[in-house]
Every structure is written in C-alpha cells, then in structure tokens.
Structure 1
Amino acid sequence: MNAAVVSRRNAGVLFGITSSIFFSASGTFAKALTDAGFSALEAVWLRIAGACLILVAVSLLRGPGSLLGVFRNRTALRGIVLFGLVAVAACQALYFVAASRLPVGIAILLEFTGPVLVVLYQRLVLRQHVRRTAFLGIGLAMVGLCFVVEIWSGLSLDALGLACGLGAAAGNAAYFLIIDRLTGSADPLAITTVGMLVACIVLVPLAMPWSAPWHVLGSPIALAGREIPGWLVALALVLLSTVISYVFGGMAVQRLSATVAAGLAYVEPVSACVIAWVLLGQRLNAVQITGGVVVLIGAYTAQRSAATAPAPAAATPLSVPSTEPVRPIGK
C-alpha cells in the first residue's frame, strides 16, 4: 500500500472519529440549553435552523446548480423530503426530548439500537438474507438494553424519555434506509441542505420558536461547573455538533468504505457518556455501563453481519436499499 493511500485512510479515520465526537456532544449542549429554559423542541429547532443558514450559504457559494438539480429530480426530491421529515426532524426531536428527560448516555444508547432495526427490516420486510450472527447481535443488543434501563426495577427511567429514545432509534434506522436509496441520485451536500430545510419548516408549528426564551442566549448558562455564554453553547451545537459533524462524516466516507466509517461511528455513544460525565456530572452505574457495552457490541455485530450478507439477485440500488450500511447520525 503506497504512502498516498495510507495518508488518505489515516485522514479518513481522523475525520470519522472527530465527526463522531462532535456529534456525541449535541446531547450535552442541548441539555444545557433545556436546563436554562429552552424546551427540547425549541433546542432542536435552533440546531436545525442554524445549520440551515450555514449549509444554504455554503451551497450557494458552491453554485446553486446542485440545489436546483434536487428540485428538478422529483424522485430524489420525494426521498429527500422523507429524509428531512423522518431522519432529521423526527430523529433529532425525539433524541433531544429523550436527552432532556434521561441521562444523555442512556438516550444515545437507545438511539444506537437503530442498526438492529435495520437488520430486522431487511429480514422481515425486504426478505433479504441475513447471517445468523446478525441475530446474535440483535439478541446481545436487547439484553444489554435491559441492563441499561434496569428493567428488573420496573423501568425506573422516565417513560416518555424511554419511548422517545426508542423513537430516535427508529429515526436512526430510517436514516440508513433512506440515504441508501438516495445514494447517487443527488449531491450529498444538497441532500443534507434540503433535508435540513424540510426539517426546519416542519418543526416550526411544533417548536413555536417565536415563544422560545431567546434572551437565554445572552445570559450565562451552567456547563461543566462554569457559567458559559448561552450564545456560545448554541454556536457549538450548530457549528460543531451539526455542520462540521456532517461535513467531516461525509469526508470520512469518501476516504474509507461506508462500512469502516460506520464502525468508527460507534465512538459516538462512548464519547457521549464521557462528555456528559465531564460537563454535566451525569454518571451511569456499573450495571448500566456494562449494558451499554453489550448494546454496542450487539448493534455493531448485527450491522457488520448484515453488511457482509449476500443480497438477493433481483435487488437494485434504486428499488431496494442495499445491505451495506451508511454512517449513522447522532442526533
């Protein structure tokens, strides 16, 4: 392997890990905003709207052709609208609600059961062949999840937060399936930009941003035991945990295979727990940490097994999503 290939792969790994870490901080930044007075939906709208402004500006600087091309391609546009509704708006809103009612680490662990749902969809709905080890991974993830939520104690976690965390997992799974259909049909930046615009618009009547406590952004917010300017927390949520994370994630996929980039994304739940511990003082007990490790092993095993399973001969990229996973998003 020549030096250029090694350098490209090393850069891809660096981009992938950085993207995952920045994504993982979103729950912590959102938690700080919700503790300061924003609702979970207001915080997610702030995140998406801020990202829209930056992404639209970047897209226009590159030239409006890619965005206009999306609107001319009706098939791609329908997929992108669905992407914006489910994989962006629903997934992020549900994750932020979960993170506001549960420890951030548990919320993101719930979301990362999404790959398990992808495998089940491929087998039960699409009738695709799935290796037996994929079902072993599913079983491990479910057992680990029982430890995370401590099911023997009667689900002591907030019921709404738990439901939203599982809903975010469904949104995470939808991301895998929808983005796979869109592969090759439109420019990735255009897909992300239009998807964010759709999510921003559809969340307006739910988030009601006109009633958000915008004055909080001009006041100090408690984070990591210190008082941080509210606007700086919001900027970190928009710029680091959304825009740069999406861009770096795409750069990682370009330099690595989608499977390798997806594997790197499993840094995200671990770093989310560490960041929430350092900045918010949220700690998981030993049983929940053990369960979280089992969840990640199970989800990763299921995803890798599905990725290497042979696809049915009749499958086509435009009609049925492929079994190769795409890098997941934290939402």
Structure 2
Amino acid sequence: MTEQKLAPTIPRNGPATNRGRHIGIGLALLGATGFATSGPLSQSVLAAGFTPMQLSQMRQTVSAALLLLIVLLWAPQKLRIRLRQLPMLMLYGVTSYLLLQTFYFEAISRIPIGIALLIQFTAPVWVALWVRLVRGTRLPGLTWAGAALVLIGSAFVGQVWDSRGSGLDPVGLAAAAATALCLTCFYLFAERGLNEFDPIGLVTWGAVSAAVMFAIIRPVWTFPFERLTEAGGIPRFPQVVWLLVLVIGVLSTAMPAVSEVAALRYLASPTASVLGTAEVLIGAVLAWLLVNEVLAPPQIVGGLIVLSGIALAQIRPLSRAEAGPSGTAAAPPPHDKHLSDELERSDT
C-alpha cells in the first residue's frame, strides 16, 4: 500500500523528472569542477614542504569548521543524529574524506595530476559492479565492455610495458588506485545516507568525523603552524600557505562535496559517479595551464580509452529506482516531515 501511495508523488517521466535530472547533472558537474581545482593548488602546498597527511588534515579541518558553522547558524536541525547512525557516519567520514584525500595527495606528490585523476575515476566501474553483484541489479552488456576498456586504458596510462625503470612511481599508482576505492565508497555511502540525512547535514558529519580522526592521529599541538606563513612552493601560486589551504578547504572541498552529494538526490550513484569523471578533463587542463604538466602520447591515448570505457559502461543511465534499495525513488526527502508522517501512518 505504501508504494502505491507514493508512486504519484515521484513521476517517472515528464517535466518534473527532466527538471530533477537537469538539476542533478548541474550539481554533479559543479562538484567535479570544484574538486578539479584541488590538484594544482595542493601541489603548491606540498611543494612548500608539507606532507600529504598534513595537507589532508588542514584541508579537512577547514572544510569541517566552515560547514559546521554554516549549518549551526542556518539549519541546526539538519545535524540531528541517532546513536545507531554513528558507525555509518564514522565509516563514511574515514573512507570518503580522510583516506580519499590523503591517498590523493600522496598520489599527486609522486605522479602527475592527470594520471592520478584518470586512475581515481575508474570508480564508476566499481560502483556499477557493486550495484550488479551486491544489489543484484542487472546491468547492460555495455557495462562490462566499458569495464574492459577502463582496464586497458589504465595499462596505457601506467605504461606497464616500460621495463627501463623510468615508468611511474609504483607507490603513487597504488595511492591513486586506493583513491578509486575510496571514491566508490563516497558515492555508495552518500547514496545510502541520503535516505536519512539532508545533503549538507550528511557532508558536515562526514567532514567532522574525518577532522576528529585526524586530530586523534596527529594532535593539534604537533602541527607546524609556523610554516603556514611561508609562500607556496610553485611560482604561479606564491601566496602564503594558510591562504591556499583556506581556498582548498572551501572551493576544492566543502562546496564540491555538498554539490556531488546533493546530486545523488536526483541521480543514481552509477550516473552521478560517471558525471564526476569530468574532473579528469578539467583537472588535466588546469594542471597543464597552471603547473605545466603534459601527458605523454601513450598516456593521452590511455586517458581517452579510460574515459570512453567509463562513458560506455554508463551509456544507459539507471534511475534511482532501478539502482536498488539504497537508491530507491520512493524514499522521501528527510526534511519532508509532512510526507514522512503520512508514511508512518500508512505503514501502521
């Protein structure tokens, strides 16, 4: 009975559905653009002598403090949680923020930004595999063809045939692969969390969880605060480090995280994750313009193969209903109290 009552409130076709899809696409692309600015800006901080872990901690602490302040002043009710939700929020924060950012910074400190992004954005394939194998959702044959192309393209990007010892740093490649797994967790955890949280509330708790874990791992009093007033390590970014970190925390972390999670209100995780691959192209262009990183011809070919494979794997986007329980279209927004009360009465 509940599903029948809900069906009219969420139309499958028509102007409302198309409008929601367009909103979701816009949010996903906005998030990808924001995240893409992280690479060049972060390289300047790393070049100034900070470690990937230190940069990740600074970035996440700034993001968490900003989001927490905004939500507490604007809509504190969005931060309400239950005790049973804490384990999921902690796991979401550690995988999707602490580990994702730390592995990413480790990767770009060892290999070019464009290559790190290309490896990271094999994540849509792993999201699709999760939806198929765990949720039991049948995926088109194009999905498997796309996965094969991604693996072939990654081999070109990593130049696995190079036996002269001049290939890419293996630790950097491993760190980039770890970011792909963490990014997969970001989309899947966020999609699940939106059944209970507003997007900005979910991102805020994820960011705060990561910041708290960072503070436990590396206490505040051990941080080299005196180096924050030094200039960035790349000539095109001579600003002091604290200003670069502030920009990274706002423009490259808080804003795009909220945008991409909000996109999952309108798009299934496989669709939202493939739109996120726009970060690869935007990030590579920014790295070329700002830090003079140029890919070798085989790596450009590999990048095109990877992007083609990801696009092929998602050529027929899934609706939230098709994606499985975590992406059900019938789930009401957490802030819609009137509709939630109606559901509870109908269930009883």
Q: TM-score, normalised by structure 1?
A: 0.83
Q: 1:290 aligned to 2:298?
A: no
Kindly tell me: are residues 55 and 173 of structure 1, through their superposed partners in 2, closer, same or farther at Cα, counting changes over 3 Å? Answer: same
Partner residue, 1:20: 32
Shift of 1:276: 1.3
Partner residue, 2:257: 246
Kindly tell me: are residues 224 and 134 of structure 1, through their superposed partners in 2, closer, same or farther at Cα, counting changes over 3 Å? Answer: farther
Partner residue, 2:151: 142
Give the Cα separation in 2 of the matches to 1:137 and 1:309: 21
Contact 1:129 1:311 in 2 (8 A): no
Q: 1:93 aligned to 2:93?
A: no
Partner residue, 1:269: 280
Kindly tell me: are residues 54 and 225 of structure 1, through their superposed partners in 2, closer, same or farther at Cα, counting changes over 3 Å? Answer: closer
Q: 1:46 aligned to 2:55?
A: no
One-letter amino acid of the structure 1 residue matched with residue 279 of structure 2? E
One-letter amino acid of the structure 2 residue matched with residue 30 of structure 1? S
Pairing partner for 2:72 from 60, 74, 90? 60
Q: 1:301 aligned to 2:312?
A: yes
Shift of 1:322: 6.3
Provide structure 1 residue ranges, at least 5 long, that are not aligned to the other structure.
324-331
Give the Cα separation in 2 of the matches to 1:193 and 1:170: 21
Pairing partner for 1:166 from 173, 177, 197? 177
SS at match of 2:109: helix
Kindly tell me: are residues 175 and 102 of structure 1, through their superposed partners in 2, closer, same or farther at Cα, counting changes over 3 Å? Answer: same
Kindly tell me: are residues 278 and 119 of structure 1, through their superposed partners in 2, closer, same or farther at Cα, counting changes over 3 Å? Answer: same
Contact 1:128 1:311 in 2 (8 A): yes
Partner residue, 1:326: none
User: Residue deviations 1:192-244, cap 9 Å, x none?
Assistant: 11111111122235455544433332122133535222222112111100122
Partner residue, 2:161: 152
Pairing partner for 1:79 from 83, 88, 91? 88
Pairing partner for 1:195 from 203, 206, 212? 206
Contact 2:274 2:310 in 1 (8 A): no
Give the Cα separation in 1 of the matches to 2:27 and 2:261: 9
| Stretch of structure 1 that moved more, 49-58 or 5-14 | 5-14
One-letter amino acid of the structure 2 residue matched with residue 59 of structure 1? V
Partner residue, 2:333: none
Give the Cα separation in 2 of the matches to 1:294 and 1:52: 36
Fraction of identical pairs, as percent:
28
Shift of 1:112: 0.5
Give the Cα separation in 1 of the matches to 2:220 and 2:304: 37
SS at match of 2:197: coil
Kindly tell me: are residues 252 and 118 of structure 1, through their superposed partners in 2, closer, same or farther at Cα, counting changes over 3 Å? Answer: closer
User: Residue deviations 1:256-282, cap 9 Å, x none?
Assistant: 645765454222111111111222111
Contact 1:42 1:208 in 2 (8 A): no
Kindly tell me: are residues 275 and 214 of structure 1, through their superposed partners in 2, closer, same or farther at Cα, counting changes over 3 Å? Answer: farther
Shift of 1:38: 0.6
Partner residue, 1:327: none
One-letter amino acid of the structure 1 residue matched with residue 171 of structure 2? L
Provide structure 2 residue ranges, at least 5 long, that are not aligned to the other structure.
1-13, 330-348
Give the Cα separation in 2 of the matches to 1:305 and 1:4: 20
Contact 1:141 1:298 in 2 (8 A): yes
Partner residue, 1:109: 118
Contact 2:190 2:261 in 1 (8 A): no
Kindly tell me: are residues 167 and 242 of structure 1, through their superposed partners in 2, closer, same or farther at Cα, counting changes over 3 Å? Answer: same
Partner residue, 1:184: 195
Q: TM-score, normalised by structure 2?
A: 0.79
One-letter amino acid of the structure 1 residue matched with residue 90 of structure 2? V
User: Residue deviations 1:156-191, cap 9 Å, x none?
Assistant: 211111111101101111122212222221121111
Give the Cα separation in 2 of the matches to 1:51 and 1:261: 22
* CA RMSD after TM alignment: 3.1
SS at match of 1:129: coil
One-letter amino acid of the structure 2 residue matched with residue 79 of structure 1? M
User: Residue deviations 1:294-315, cap 9 Å, x none?
Assistant: 1122123224457369959xx5
Contact 1:137 1:297 in 2 (8 A): yes
